[in-house]
Amino acid sequence: MRRIAVLRRAKAAIRAFVLEPASARPLAVMRIGIAAALIGEAAVVASHLHDYYGPLGLVQPPVTDALAHWSLPSLPALARALSFTGLTESGAVQAAFAVYVLALHLLLLGCRTRAAAVVSWLLFLAFKKAGSAAAYGGLEFAQIALFYCVVLPVGDALSIDAFRRPRPPSVGARIGLRLLQLHLCVVYLSSGIEKARGDQWWTGEAIWRALMRPGHGDIDFSWLAVHPLVAKLACWGTVTCEIGYSLFVWLKRTRKLWVLAVIGMHLAIAVSLGLVFFSAVMIALNVAAFLVPADAREAIADARQPGVNRSSFDSAIS
Amino acid sequence: MLRRFLRNPAPFAAAAAAGHLLMVIAGAARLPLPASSAATKILGVYAAWSGASNSYGFFAPGVAAEWRAALDLYDPRAGVWTTRTRVAPNLELAVLDSTINSYFSRKEIREALAASWAAAEMPEAPGAAAVVVRAEAFLLPTLPEYRSGHRGEWRTLAAYAFTTEEREALVDAQDRRAPPR
């Protein structure tokens, strides 16, 4: 009897965890953050587009093809498809880039959000394939976030689409939010465990080696050699932040502290290692996943303003 | 089944999310997909498009050495070698270049990557008869070694020479112009 009651309670808890309607605001923040970061990255890369993604770029197709999955959309194929317009392959790359940036702006504003997300994602994949040798962690996370923008209801809040046609809190938004949260937990846990398996993260050498890499920032960290304890503490702190993430973000008391610590870690990475885009993407994902309220009741309180379909909100959470 | 899905899609969406998350966990744990089959291929395509199969060992288990391409260009008219290393115009592009050069650590694509750098550099130096691409790694001393006076240095770990028929002709033409000794 008691066992049945426990099972019932567990089932109800899981149901509430996964299926209770939630506001789409956290997902909307992810959408805005990722689109803004990608627009920034595009602005930086734009004047060197052909170096990284052009047919005669820094890395030639034999290498890029070997590094990318065969099934991903390809820019040369797109160029061939557009050849009837008279565009050269370089011209097609430029045209694709212009459409990609436009789609990112629409995604940022939440205008025709789903279509904008699909176009951004497909062109992102094509550019990533063309520049696969240059695809680092920041771009991997951008790909993940863009995929989530395609499949999750990221346009249901803080968007032009939602302004035109307000959406109630939904089960889809809850499932999407849980997916994002659990994905981040997997990311930090696996990254933390892999770091903890290496000697460099116990001796302080990892931070030392990362900060002393030439060409990644102007700050001189050679003083760490005189104060090795600082390097050691930074290493231990990083591993603790990452491994502890998957536990402490679920506890109400420690959630904010832990997410802020991880955001601090990413800010430090941006400043000291020059990984600005990567850090911006990770900060956007963390803020969206754990710092934006998703409680349906809060969303309703916000939404009880003129022009909002009140009855649909009420029915969604009843 | 279809009727149930249309009436209440939430459990199906939750199941799809759970399946996606399983792929994320498998990717993070670097578990290979089972032996080749149609289902495996489909999963592989899904993983590549969604990013679900990524692993996340950034700077783990340790921080690898930084690599760069140093390019030696031979000008037959002056008879001199000049060395160039690419300096990225901003931090983000420096990260992209660094990611490209990190593939020098993989022996199987080192030469192809060097060929890429040579092909990218040759149009910038129309007078160069040959380009030698040196894959260099920055060897940083450990913390105690640095304290005792050692300093980091770029060391050439592989080198590849490239030219084309037209560029070789530049040397031949120069030889013809040179006075007989």
A162-175 pLDDT, tens per residue?
A: 999 999 999 999 99
8 Å CB contact between B128 and B79: no
8 Å CB contact between A127 and A50: no
Task: Nearest by CB to A133, from B62, B100, B115: name it.
Answer: B100
User: Scanning every residue of chain B, which has its alpha carbon at the shortest distance from the alpha carbon of A126?
Assistant: B49
Which pLDDT score is estimated for A15? 84
Q: How far apart are the first and last CA of chain B?
A: 91
More confident residue, A240 or A88: A240
Coil, strand or helix at A238: helix
Lowest mean pLDDT across A39-43, A109-113, A140-144, B91-95 = B91-95
- Asked whether the beta carbons of residue B120 and residue A209 sit closer than 8 angstroms, the reply is no
Interface with chain A: mutation pick from B43, B143, B148, highest number of A CBs within 10 Å: B143
Q: Is the pLDDT of residue A102 over 90?
A: yes
B112 contacts in A (CB within 8 Å)? 60, 62-63, 66
Give me chain A's average pLDDT, please: 89
Which pLDDT score is estimated for B69? 92
C-alpha span between A122 and B80 (Å, rounded): 48
C-alpha span between A27 and A167 (Å, rounded): 13
Peptide bond into B11 cis (omega under 30): no
- Residue ranges of alpha helices (H) inside A132-170 are 137-151, 160-164
Which pLDDT score is estimated for B123? 85
Both tokens of residue A197? 């398996």
A176 contacts in B (CB within 8 Å)? 17
**DSSP character for A291?**
I
A132-144 residue pLDDT tens: 999 999 999 999 9
8 Å CB contact between B92 and A278: no
- Asked whether the beta carbons of residue A182 and residue B89 sit closer than 8 angstroms, the reply is no
ipTM for the whole complex: 0.86
- Asked whether the beta carbons of residue A215 and residue B94 sit closer than 8 angstroms, the reply is yes
Which pLDDT score is estimated for B140? 94
The H or E element that residue B124 is part of is none
Which residues, given as ranges, of chain B have pLDDT below 50?
A: 181
Q: Is the pLDDT of residue A264 over 60?
A: yes
E strand segments, chain A:
none
Q: Is the pLDDT of residue A306 over 60?
A: no
Q: Does A209 contact chain B (CB < 8 Å)?
A: yes
Q: Is the pLDDT of residue A195 over 90?
A: yes
Task: Nearest by CB to A186, from B10, B24, B59: name it.
Answer: B24
Q: Does A168 contact chain B (CB < 8 Å)?
A: no
* Res. A318 pLDDT band, cuts 50 70 90: very low
B74-115 residue pLDDT tens: 888 888 889 988 888 888 899 999 999 999 999 888 999 999
Cα dihedral value A188, A194, A196, A201, nearest 10: -100
CB atoms within 10 A of CB A133: 25
Lowest mean pLDDT across A47-56, A191-200, A297-306 = A297-306
Q: Does A63 contact chain B (CB < 8 Å)?
A: yes
With b for 16 or more beta-carbon neighbours within 10 A and e for fewer, the A162-198 pattern comes to beeebbbbbbbbbbbbbbbbbbbbbbbbbbbbbbbeb
C-alpha span between B123 and B166 (Å, rounded): 12
Which pLDDT score is estimated for A178? 96
CA distance B16 to chain A (A): 10
